[in-house]
Amino acid sequence: MSYEPRFSLGAADVHRPYVADEDRYSALPYRQVGRSGLYLPAISLGLWWNFGDNVPFDRQRRMIRHAFDRGIIHFDLANNYGPPHGSAETNFGRLLREDLTPYRDELIISSKAGWDMWPGPHGDLGSRKHLLASLDASLTRMGLDYVDIFYSHRVDPVTPIEETIGALDAVVKAGKAQYVGISSYSAERTAVAVAVARSLGTPLVIHQPSYSILNRWAEDGLTGVLQQEGLGAIAFTPLAQGLLTDKYLVDGIGRREQPRRVPEKLTEEAIAALRSLNVIAQERGQTLAQMAIQWTLRDPVVASALIGASSVAQLDENIAAVNGPAFDVEELERIDAVSSAVDVDLWAVSSRL
Ligand code: NAP
């Protein structure tokens, strides 16, 4: 599907009142989340990095406007995204207020609670106290009455799952979230969470696991449970935080910019695997980033690939992933063979509970 942006947002444009591109629904497919009524764009944008107070606000505005103009209707946040914690929600709230208010009904906005947010025993994890207080604070920061999806961000090994899922049920019943989800729960715990949610009538429709060519834990039982129970997945870090792009392939290893979040993963072995993957991508007529994104979407249980990006150019490159040719069996086997030696699963501890 070809798409020409109506205009390119330059420095001056970000100060003009925003009117969304009329063709915004022509660039991306929208995929059903499990057996729910929720649809997500094949590519969603996460605000974990690049939307904190350390990034100029105009750059953030350019990114969000451009994303929405290209059909990215889903923006993924959490209480602690920044830095500092909370600032991504505050900045996004300002963008909503100044640019996106007329489009609120088109947007799918998510937030989460579970990672460290404030001191004391209720500042993280999955207690009712933490989840309810955190969502209220997130709504205040974003200036919203409700989020579209609210997640339990990680497993709490101590709090009974009935309490955690009961808190998700409470926010739906209070009108503060339309759907709820869980993130990084194991296959076994997901099955229990679904059973509890079903007993309460809670719309638990989505799971957010880490998933990429270099991180396949979700295939070991989780996607099967989701498929069986009618939930969908949204795959976070499909680019392994930038490893699965040409970012680290250009120069020699000594001169290359080190990945800021996964430096220990950038071994010679990893680079060799990335180079081989890059060759496969080139043969397919796409970039490594595009192939990596498309790969996460080959199973329909994955409704969306949840990317990060620091520029409009990255966004455009990544969105074009949906135009790539379908994978054939031989390509998939070659990808498996060259990537099997590298595992980039930074969430392994919380994913295995
Ligand atoms: P990612 O898509 O794997 O990596 C994104 C980074 O890769 C970008 O910030 C950019 O790095 C680089 N990049 C992206 N496109 C590129 C391109 N075309 N060419 C070159 N480099 C490119 O995802 P992520 O940022 O790690 O995470 C994405 C989202 O997942 C987060 O924002 C968050 O919403 C969600 N998430 C959820 C959890 C959870 O526990 N549920 C955990 C982590 C993340 P630079 O910024 O350095 O340019």
Tell me the per-residue pLDDT of 258-276, one tens digit each, with 9 for 90 and over. Answer: 455 555 667 778 888 999 9
Look at residue 254 in the predicted model and tell me its pLDDT.
Answer: 47
The pLDDT tens digits for 4-60 are 344 445 555 677 899 999 999 999 999 999 999 999 999 999 999 999 999 999 999
- What's the pLDDT score for residue 343? 76
Whole-number Å distance, alpha carbon 255 to ligand 1 midpoint, is 22
Distance 310 CA to ligand 1 centre (A): 9
Q: Which residue's alpha carbon is at the smallest distance from atom 22 of ligand 1? A: 242
Position 181 in a domain:
yes
Residue 112 Cα to ligand 1 middle (Å): 17
With a 6 A CB cut-off, is 351 part of the ligand 1 pocket?
no
Domain membership of residue 35 (yes or no) is yes
Cβ–ligand 1 contact at 114 (below 6 Å): no
pTM metric for this prediction: 0.94
Would residue 251 count as lying in a domain? no
State residue 252's pLDDT score.
Answer: 44
Distance CA 304, CA 29 (A): 10
Domains of the chain: total: 1
Could you tell me the distance, in angstroms and rounded to a whole number, from the CA of residue 239 to the centre of ligand 1? 7
Take atom 27 of ligand 1 and give the residue whose Cα is closest.
237
Is position 273 within any domain?
no
Is pLDDT larger for residue 251 or for residue 88?
88
Q: Whose CA is nearest to atom 4 of ligand 1?
A: 241
Q: Is residue 30 part of a domain?
A: yes
| 331 CB-contact burial (10 Å; exposed 0-12 / middle 13-18 / buried 19+) | middle
* Percent of the chain at pLDDT exceeding 70: 90
pLDDT at 253: 47
Calculate how far, in angstroms, residue 47's C-alpha sits from the geometric centre of ligand 1. Answer: 9
Q: Determine, yes or no, domain membership for 280.
A: no
Q: Is 309 touching ligand 1 by the criterion CB < 6 Å?
A: yes
Residue whose Cα lies nearest atom 30 of ligand 1: it is 236
Calculate what percentage of the chain has a pLDDT beyond 90: 83
* In-domain check, residue 199: yes
| CATH number of the domain enclosing 56 | 3.20.20.100
Asked if the structure places residue 83 within a domain, the reply is: yes
d(CA 225, CA 227): 5
Q: Is the CB of 308 under 6 A from ligand 1?
A: yes
**What is the average per-residue pLDDT within 89-101?**
98
Q: Residue 133's domain spans which residues?
A: 23-246+289-325
